[in-house]
């Protein structure tokens, strides 16, 4: 298994090249995503690796991008852009506005699943704000990235995919749900399912080659604003391996 400062290698002791990874993608069977979601993101990851081969990207860079979640984020962005070109009613009628922030009240202390790349970006963006009042001054379960007065995200450009994917047609429903209700009208775009499914597929492909982790967004953000180091924050926020498949189980095969 790859570790800091060491190139990722497979069981033969060699660094798998993009062509080898492509073959692994074509036969991998990830745990969690539905068959439809798996085949959809398999095509996306195949295209991603074919591009890497054409551009002659170094194997170590390709593996690092996949393992860290950069590949999942980029492919998720592509999927979301396609949705936005012909927006469904939930996007056309979205009630989301600056400072609404009820979707930023995080239940369960987890706040959403993010990749290592997103966790590092979030911590780096929030670390300069350590010791400054944060969103929990507005609501005890609010995201620490919020400004407690304006309820605006202070790291908007570096917000993770989950934040970019959540949408609602009814702000009042979000307010009710933030306090434990079960109103309809809010949820994530389908592109978020693709993003998670890509990461699940990558985890299967890189098994025995590199670690593919996920993290709790709320814990990463809290660690940053409370002055804890990146390593400490990542250690506290790291999910157990089964979390990703559990998410799909909760979605009941959606996708």
**Dmax of the chain from CA atoms?**
57
pLDDT tops 80 at residue 10: no
CA distance readout (Å), 172 to 147, 178, 232? 21, 10, 37
Taking the C-alpha atoms of residue 160 and residue 112, their distance in angstroms, rounded to an integer, is: 9
- State mean pLDDT over 93-108: 84
Give residue-wise pLDDT tens across range 104-124: 988 776 889 999 999 999 999
pLDDT (mean) for 84-94: 89
Question: Is the model's pLDDT at 254 over the cut of 60?
Answer: no
More reliable by pLDDT, 145 or 173: 145
pLDDT of residue 3: 40
Indicate the pLDDT class of residue 5, thresholds 50, 70 and 90: very low
Instruction: Pull the structure tokens for residue 9.
Output: 């290698």
The predicted structure's pLDDT at residue 7: 57
How is the chain split into domains, by residue range? 18-251
What does the pLDDT look like over 121-158, one tens digit per residue?
999 999 999 999 999 999 999 999 999 999 999 999 99
204 phi/psi in degrees, rounded to 5: -70, -40
Query: pLDDT tens-digit profile of 36-71?
Result: 999 999 999 999 999 999 999 999 999 999 999 999
Tokens describing residue 85: 């070109």
Helices marked H in the chain: 18-27, 35-54, 59-68, 70-85, 89-92, 116-126, 161-165, 171-178, 190-205, 217-225, 230-237, 243-251
Compute the average pLDDT of residues 176-181: 82
């Amino acid at each position: 298994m790859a570790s800091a400062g060491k190139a990722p290698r497979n069981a033969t002791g060699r660094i798998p090249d993009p062509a080898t990874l492509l073959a692994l993608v074509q036969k991998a069977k990830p745990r969690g995503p539905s068959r439809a979601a798996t085949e959809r993101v398999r095509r996306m990851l195949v295209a991603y690796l074919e591009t890497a081969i054409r551009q002659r990207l170094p194997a170590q860079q390709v593996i690092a991008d996949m393992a860290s979640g950069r590949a999942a984020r980029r492919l998720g962005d592509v999927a979301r852009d396609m949705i936005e070109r012909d927006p469904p009613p939930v996007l056309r009628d979205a009630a989301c506005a600056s400072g609404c922030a009820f979707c930023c009240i995080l239940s369960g202390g987890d706040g959403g699943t993010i990749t290592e790349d997103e966790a590092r970006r979030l911590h780096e963006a929030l670390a300069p704000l350590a010791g400054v009042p944060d969103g929990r001054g507005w609501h005890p379960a609010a995201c620490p990235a919020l400004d407690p007065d304006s309820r605006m995200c202070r790291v908007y450009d570096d917000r993770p995919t989950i934040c970019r994917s959540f949408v609602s047609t009814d702000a009042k429903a979000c307010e009710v749900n933030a306090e434990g209700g079960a109103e309809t009208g809010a949820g994530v775009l389908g592109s978020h399912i693709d993003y998670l499914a890509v990461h699940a597929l990558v985890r299967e492909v890189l098994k025995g080659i590199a670690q593919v982790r996920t993290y709790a967004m709320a814990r990463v953000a809290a660690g940053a604003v409370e002055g804890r180091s990146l390593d400490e924050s990542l250690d506290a926020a790291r999910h157990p391996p089964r979390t990703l498949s559990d998410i799909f189980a909760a979605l009941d095969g959606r996708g």
